[in-house]
């Protein structure tokens, strides 16, 4: 957490702590998610930073699809966002991140959808 906080000029991550919980997922071909945020703020989910590590087979190719889509417009800072607002906010320009074996992606859980 300290290394991320040191790089964060906004100060958002200054109070970050490491939680021992980890989510490990494997998805079948064709599975997808609707746009969402990993944390909407508030007291039910204290997640501030999402870190993805792709451990898939190195033979994955672009034709396999499965990119992570990150929308460039971020959620408002400093207040919890409702699920309804999140569903409305995920639009506009985006960046698709290919799930290459060994790739690590980190983003703000409460601001990126």
- Beta carbons of 66 and 72 less than 8 angstroms apart: no
d(CA 54, CA 104): 6
- pTM > 0.75: yes or no: no
- What confidence score (pLDDT) does residue 34 get? 77
Share of the chain above pLDDT 90, in %: 8
Does the pLDDT of residue 74 top 80, yes or no? no
Q: What is the largest CA-CA distance in the chain?
A: 42
Query: Which residue, 19, 97, 22, 25, is CA-closest to 55?
Result: 25
Q: How is residue 17 written in tokens? A: 């702590």
The region of weakest confidence among 13-17, 54-58, 91-95 is 13-17
So where are the chain's domains?
A: 34-113
CA 40 to chain centre: 12
Instruction: Calculate mean pLDDT across residues 72-87.
Output: 68
């Amino acid at each position: 957490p300290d290394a991320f906080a040191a790089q964060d000029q906004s100060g958002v991550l200054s109070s970050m702590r490491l939680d021992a919980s980890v989510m490990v997922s494997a998805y079948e071909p064709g599975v997808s998610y609707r746009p969402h945020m990993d944390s909407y703020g508030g007291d039910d989910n204290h997640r501030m930073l999402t870190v993805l590590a792709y451990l898939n087979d190195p033979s994955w190719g672009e034709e396999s699809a499965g990119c992570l889509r990150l929308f460039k417009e971020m959620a408002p800072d400093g207040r919890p966002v409702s699920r309804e607002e999140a569903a409305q906010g995920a639009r506009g320009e985006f960046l698709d991140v290919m799930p290459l074996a060994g790739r690590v992606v980190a983003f703000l859980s409460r601001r990126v959808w």
